[in-house]
A = this chain, B = another copy of it.
């Protein structure tokens, strides 16, 4: 959200070259707020503002910008300037930015950086998107196990200005194998000459570099952690993931889940609804809508097959929308609950029979209720339709009600089974998007509807 009051004020300070007030302002306001403000300026103006700050704060504000805007600013900078700015960024943000830079730009900038930073960027950027490795930072404090509490505090004091968090410090041996961790609180409460191995927690909740980022974020949430260490295949500490990154991961995954549920493809990294071009919006949405429309043709063919029946009982057409909607609604409800429970790790695919038993009970109640409504509807409003003489309105109502109840039960069970099936296949359960499900239960619904009616009326 933009702060409409401060943006013009900032521009004025810039235009009148009011160095003193500009510096004062940049120090007193939170970097995230400044990032919001300068996002409203041109890249060149934004860079001019950033130049009034010290390099570390500058990189901090910069790393709060949208990636798009970061790239635009880097584009207008000279080699040394850009390399310096990137070097000062938090390691995880730095690696993310690097991944987005065009190849030739990367090769141009890397030689201007110190070797340690070059290697750190290369290492972090190498992990596959969506893994713990791709979101971790290399900015953490380590301690050797032969220190005392006092020495450890002194060491943290030394490294504090450079580290993202010093509230947890990780104890490693000479091969960087993770032995345990101590919190700053532990150190403050310990006696001065108590040794680290006596204080540290050895049962460390950790992740592996290849773990799924959402699993790791859920761990941080479950155990109320400020940071979580990430180890490689040899048990060596390679990075940490902090609570604020975990929160961003959870928000991002939630957005992607919701969008998948609604059959929108593409990933959603930053807040960009209005800034995304219409063409991209179109592409993200068209894929699924078209696939589903093609499946919708199957529904059409089914209806065409039963044209004769429809011409005989025109009232059947009047119930098609309710049949389709109700199937889609009840199926989406059970699918949503199952998908969400899977995402929150409340259930696992192995619970399938308990889930089906529960959904069956709910479906029978819903089917009974909705069937009764349909029955009443036929009796009350059906009088106007022409139906062949040998059939009574009550009979037709009972048959339509039964078909609807069957549809509700089928749709609810399909809605529950598909996400579990997807989870078992190691797909994301949210691919069982509500629109996809709606289309599937439309097809099953029409088949159930017409065949039930045909069978029971003996036509």
A residues in contact (CB < 8 Å) with B: 1, 28-30, 32, 153, 156-157, 160-161, 166-167, 184-185, 188-189, 203, 205, 220-226, 243-244, 246-248, 250-251, 254-255, 257-259, 261-264, 271-274, 278-279, 281-282, 285-286, 288-290, 292-294, 296-297, 299-301, 303-304, 307, 310-311, 314-315, 317-322, 324-326, 328-330, 332-333, 335-338, 340-341, 344-348, 351, 354-355, 358, 361-362, 365-366, 369-370, 373-374, 377, 381, 384-385, 434-435, 438-439, 442, 446
Other A-B contacts than A184-B184, A274-B358, A303-B318, 14 sampled, CB-CB below 8 A, are: A30-B203, A157-B188, A225-B244, A281-B358, A289-B366, A293-B322, A293-B373, A297-B322, A300-B377, A304-B384, A307-B314, A307-B385, A317-B320, A321-B324
Closest chain-B Cβ to A282's Cβ sits at a distance in Å of 5
Q: Are B205 and A185 in contact (CB under 8 A)?
A: no
Q: Are B442 and A290 in contact (CB under 8 A)?
A: no
Closest chain-B Cβ to A290's Cβ sits at a distance in Å of 7
Q: Are A255 and B340 in contact (CB under 8 A)?
A: yes
Q: Which residues of B contact A307 (CB under 8 A)?
A: 314, 317-318, 385
Question: Of B184, B344, B439, which is within 8 A of A255 by CB?
Answer: B344
Closest chain-B Cβ to A402's Cβ sits at a distance in Å of 16
Known: A310-B314, A317-B307. A442 touches B361 (CB 8 A): no
Q: Which residues of B contact A29 (CB under 8 A)?
A: 203
A sample of 7 inter-chain contacts (CB < 8 A) reads A166-B188, A261-B262, A271-B341, A274-B358, A281-B337, A289-B366, A324-B324
Count of this chain's copies in the oligomeric assembly: 2
A63–B455 CA distance with the chains assembled, in angstroms: 58
Q: Which residues of B contact A442 (CB under 8 A)?
A: 321, 325
| 5 A-B pairs closest in CB distance | A296-B322, A299-B321, A273-B341, A224-B244, A262-B336
Q: Which residue of B lies closest to A341 (CB)?
A: B273
A185–B169 CA distance with the chains assembled, in angstroms: 13
Q: Which residue of B lies closest to A369 (CB)?
A: B286
Q: Are B274 and A354 in contact (CB under 8 A)?
A: yes
A381–B32 CA distance with the chains assembled, in angstroms: 57
Q: Are A322 and B310 in contact (CB under 8 A)?
A: no
Q: Which residues of B contact A278 (CB under 8 A)?
A: 358, 361-362, 365
Closest chain-B Cβ to A281's Cβ sits at a distance in Å of 5
Closest chain-B Cβ to A7's Cβ sits at a distance in Å of 15
Q: Are B294 and A222 in contact (CB under 8 A)?
A: no
A311–B221 CA distance with the chains assembled, in angstroms: 60
Q: Are A184 and B167 in contact (CB under 8 A)?
A: yes
Q: Are B326 and A369 in contact (CB under 8 A)?
A: no
